[in-house]
């Protein structure tokens, strides 16, 4: 099977998924493909182009619902799919919006989103809605990426474990001082997250619906 741009990009995405973006070096990627390092440069002009291509693959995985339903459910599905894709490819989170030259898959997604919204909103309002929703989705994915746990149980477990260490350790004074200095934060972390945990999916959809409903209200009262 010959090398090709597609094969290179696919391998790069898989490698980044598996071992992180920093492991996705040219020599390493070439090894993965059983090929010399410089061979990659025939199909990809630079590492920047490689990453641009990888990002566009990520965009292409976003599912765009048909234009049948109303704008709200369409945007909702779109947002949820976006978050899922971003969670499959966490390395892409800081890059999606920071690409100098967006690829075709990026155009496709934005065009579809604007299409859904234009059905119900003015051009000005469509731009605003797109901006707010996109910002929320990327920002949420960013938070999710850095969180040291995966789900509600994990969050509760981690918080509880830290509470245990809190009592057991000799650093107790320091941590107690910390809780003293930041009482509100301590209340939330120790008093709530440790008990019921934190469910990212639930939190995401709560905020998403909050924004969607607010947009609807703005439209009706405009």
Partner DNA sequence: ACCTTACTCGTACGCTGTACGATTTCGCAA
Partner DNA sequence: TTGCGAAATCGTACAGCGTACGAGTAAGGT
| Vertex 130: Cα angle to 128 and 133 (nearest 5) | 105
What letter would DSSP give residue 46?
S
Measured CA to CA, the distance from residue 12 to residue 9 in angstroms comes to: 5
Residue listed under structure tokens 């120790």 = 190
Q: Smallest distance, Å, CB 54 to DNA?
A: 12
Provide the CB-side half-sphere exposure for 37 (13 A, CA): 7
Residue nearer to its own copies on the CB measure, 124 or 167: 124
Per partner kind, with CB cut-offs from 5 to 8 A, the member of DNA, its own copies, none near residue 171 is none
Q: Which is nearer to DNA, 53 or 197 (CB)?
A: 53
Residue 2: closest CA among 39, 37, 57: 39
Q: Quick one: 41 or 149, whose CB is closer to DNA?
A: 41
Q: How far is the CB of 182 from its own copies (least distance, A)?
A: 4
For DNA, the binding residues (CB under 7 A) are: 2-3, 24-28, 35-39, 41-43, 46-48
Distance of CA 177 to the CA centre of its chain: 35
Smallest distance, Å, CB 17 to its own copies? Answer: 17
Cβ 85 to DNA shortest distance, Å? 24
**Alpha-carbon gap, residue 91 to 80, rounded angstroms:** 18
177 binds, among its own copies, DNA, none (CB under 5 to 8 A by kind): none
Query: Which option in DNA, its own copies, none does residue 41 bind, with CB closer than 5 to 8 A by kind?
Result: DNA
């Amino acid at each position: 099977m010959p090398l090709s741009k597609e094969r290179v990009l696919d391998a790069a995405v898989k490698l980044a998924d598996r071992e992180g973006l920093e492991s996705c070096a040219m020599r390493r990627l070439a090894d993965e493909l059983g090929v010399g390092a410089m061979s990659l440069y025939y199909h990809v002009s630079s590492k920047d182009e490689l990453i641009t291509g990888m990002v566009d693959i990520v965009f292409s995985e976003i599912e765009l619902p048909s234009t049948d339903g109303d704008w709200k459910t369409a945007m909702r599905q779109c947002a949820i799919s976006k978050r899922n894709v971003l969670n499959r490819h966490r390395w892409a989170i800081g890059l999606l919006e920071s690409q100098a030259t967006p690829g075709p898959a990026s155009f496709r997604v934005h065009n579809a989103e604007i299409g859904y919204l234009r059905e119900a909103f003015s051009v000005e309002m469509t731009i605003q809605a797109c901006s707010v929703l996109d910002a929320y989705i990327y920002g949420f994915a960013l938070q999710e990426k850095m969180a040291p746990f995966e789900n509600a149980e994990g969050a509760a477990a981690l918080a509880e474990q830290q509470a245990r260490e809190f009592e057991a350790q000799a650093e107790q004074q320091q941590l107690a001082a910390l809780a003293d200095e930041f009482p509100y934060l301590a209340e939330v972390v120790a008093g709530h997250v440790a008990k019921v945990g934190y469910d990212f999916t639930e939190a995401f959809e709560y905020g998403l619906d909050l924004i969607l409903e607010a947009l609807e209200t703005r439209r009706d009262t405009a």
